[in-house]
A = this chain, B = another copy of it.
Amino acid sequence: MSVLVVGSVALDSVETPFGRAEDVLGGSGTFFSASASHFTPVKLVGVVGNDYPVDKLEPLAARGVDLSGLEHAEGESFRWRGRYRHDLNVAETLETRLGVFSHFRPKIPAGFLSSPFVFLANIDPRLQLDVLSQVERPRLVACDTMNFWIESRRPDLMELLGRVDMILLNEGEARQLTERANLVLAARWILDKGPRYVIIKKGEHGAFLFTRESIFFAPAYPLEAVFDPTGAGDAFAGGFIGSLARSGDLSDANMRRAMLAGAAMGSFAVEQFSIGRLLEVTASDIAKRVAECRRLVSSEEEMPG
């Protein structure tokens, strides 16, 4: 089954202890698509300015990402400039230029309206709600958000929580949204507001999947070298939701397997700048990394994978 993603398509300039990159492909929609496309067809809705190197998106199209919902607007593309120092879990934003993204009003193409899986990447909750008013009863709607919207758009975000099946957010955002320091209590608070699934991402420390009945924890794969953490969360979401959409199976067991696919894709994302590594990995690389993530926590006699 296909996944519709609505998110940013940006140009990132990133500095890490290991190097720097200028105006490389970035944005939540881009990272999600590059990751999810390994599992299932993806339909991307976003906006770029007339300065965007759209030819560089060609590898995405070749991987089965439908770019016909990518709006081309007059003006500059969304640009983010950031830096990571030694604590690679913390991004320092040096500059954000919204450009054409500031007037983005997602219009979902007719052919995308019946997508069974929908991922509302981190954009204004009012736009996330607007997308939901356009699409036709998806099987699963997931959303992301960030500190900025939690502060400035709380009522809209609360309305959104009542209308999504799943939210993915990082631990700082979960604490800020719920005003609870304990993640179990934070997850329960969110579950009470509507979503059936709450994924709390902890970066290099792994990710939790909370439902009303159970808790699952997917470890982060311990890499020897983390090159650039940008996009890891969206790559995780792409692997997770892409994997769910591939089978359409929302059983607890399959949710857990999909979380490991998310962990694997998140770990690939940080191995190179931009979506470089996400584009080059093969199905066999992914299967191997998923098996390694499973083996990492396996305490049974028979080691799976």
List A residues at the B interface (Cβ < 8 Å): 86, 181-185, 202, 205-206, 208, 214-219, 222-226, 253, 256-257, 259-260, 294-301, 304
Q: How many copies does the complex hold?
A: 2
What is the CA–CA distance of A299 and B209 in the complex, to the nearest angstrom? 12
Q: In the bound complex, what is the Cα–Cα distance between A295 and B253 (angstroms)?
A: 11
Partner among B223, B224, B256 whose Cβ is within 8 Å of the Cβ of A298: B256
A183/B222 in contact, CB under 8 A: yes
Across-interface contacts of A184 in B (CB, < 8 A): 222-224
B222-A215 in contact (CB<8A): yes
| CB pair A205 B208 closer than 8 Å | no
- Inter-chain contact B181/A299, CB cutoff 8 Å: no
Bound Cα distance from A86 to B218, whole angstroms: 25
Judging by beta carbons under 8 Å apart, are B217 and A297 in contact?
A: yes
Instruction: Give complex CA distance A216, B296 in Å.
Output: 5
Q: How far is the CB of A174 from chain B (nearest CB, A)?
A: 12
Q: Which residues of B contact A222 (CB under 8 A)?
A: 183-184, 208, 215, 217
Tell me, rounded to whole Å, the shortest Cβ–Cβ distance linking A16 to chain B. Answer: 12
Chain B residues with Cβ under 8 A from A185's Cβ? 224
Q: How far is the CB of A88 from chain B (nearest CB, A)?
A: 8
The verdict on A296 contacting B182 (CB below 8 Å), with A202-B205, A205-B202, A205-B206 known, is no
Give every chain B residue within 8 A of A208 (Cβ-Cβ).
222
Inter-chain contact B304/A300, CB cutoff 8 Å: yes
